[in-house]
Amino acid sequence: MDRCKHGHFVCADTVLARAKEGGLRRTRALEAVVEALAEAGTPIPLNELEKKPSVAGVCDRTTLFRLLNRLGEHGLVRRLGLHKRAAYFTLAMPGGHHDYLICRECGSVEILEVECPVQELEKEVAKVSGYTDLYHELEIYGLCPNCHG
| Residues in touch with DNA (CB under 7 A) | 20, 23-30, 45-47, 58-63, 65-67, 69-70, 85-87
Residue 120 interacts with a second copy (CB under 8 A)? yes
Q: How far out from the chain centre does Cα 135 lie?
A: 14
Q: Please state, in angstroms and rounded to a whole number, the distance separating the CA atoms of residues 85 and 36.
A: 21
Site string for a second copy, 46-85 (x = CB under 8 A): ---------------------------------xxxxx--
Q: How many residues bind a second copy (CB under 8 A)?
A: 36
Q: Which does 50 bind (CB under 5 to 8 A by kind): a second copy, DNA, none?
A: none
> How does DSSP classify residue 92?
P
Residue 125 interacts with a second copy (CB under 8 A)? yes
Residue 91 · residue 74 · CB < 8 Å = no
Q: Is 5 left (phi over 0), alpha (psi -120 to 50) or beta?
A: alpha
> How does DSSP classify residue 53?
T
Residues that bind a second copy (CB under 8 A): 79-83, 101, 103, 110, 112, 114, 117-118, 120-122, 124-126, 129-145, 148
